[in-house]
Amino acid sequence: MTVPVAWAEPPAKLGVVNVSLLIEQAPQAKAASKKLEQEFAPQQKELEKLAKKLDGLQKDYAKNKLAMSATQRTAKEREIALLTREIQRRRSDIQELVNLRRNEELSKLQALINQAIREIGESQKYDLILYDGIAFSSKRIDITPQVLQYLQKRYKQQKAAFNR
């Protein structure tokens, strides 16, 4: 009697990645945040100067409004209102620019994360790597630490190349 030999394929190798954690902890993300802060620091300082000016105008108005004529009060109120609108407009413009730049940097980081996942998947022969919308995964198939290590190594290499 002969027993047929089953040529079963090995079980699929699965991996899961927590992209949110990578975006939060990757050195590239921290560098991008720092870069954005520096990039928009002059605009933030300008806003702070305008806010101090507005505060001074409001305090001066509150202190002296009883001694002002109706025309002077109206002029001062108009000046305060115009400066308030100017600050709001500038704040809104800066926030819009910051959001655009943040999205650009996030897009670069997501592309790098996808590249890291692809390279790890190919080099370690994964059949399937999932991310986004994972309700639960065991640590056994979570490759987030490996991807984070890849990103950290890549960041150090880029930094070393830049410093040469």
In a domain, 9, yes or no: no
Query: CB neighbours (10 Å) of residue 109?
Result: 19
Could you report the per-residue pLDDT of 26-71, keeping only the tens digit for each?
A: 999 999 999 999 999 999 999 999 999 999 999 999 999 999 999 9
In a domain, 34, yes or no: yes
- Work out the burial of residue 22: count CB atoms within 10 Å of its CB; fewer than 13 is exposed, 13-18 middle, 19 or more buried: buried
Please report, for the domain that includes residue 150, its CATH number: 3.30.910.20
In a domain, 8, yes or no: no
125: left (phi over 0), alpha (psi -120 to 50) or beta: left
Per-residue pLDDT, 9: 75
In a domain, 2, yes or no: no
Q: Does the pLDDT at position 3 exceed 60?
A: no
CA torsion, points 144, 147, 148, 154, in degrees to nearest 10? Answer: 180
Per-residue pLDDT, 145: 94
Per-residue pLDDT, 135: 79
Number of helical H runs and strand E runs in the chain:
4, 2
Q: How far apart are CA 74 and CA 8, in angstroms?
A: 87
- Structural domain of 90: 14-163
Q: Which residues contact 51 (CB under 8 A, 6 or more apart)?
A: 87
Handedness of CA 138, 28, 38, 43 (dihedral sign): negative
- Number of domains present in the structure of the chain: 1
In a domain, 6, yes or no: no
In a domain, 1, yes or no: no
In a domain, 96, yes or no: yes
In a domain, 121, yes or no: yes
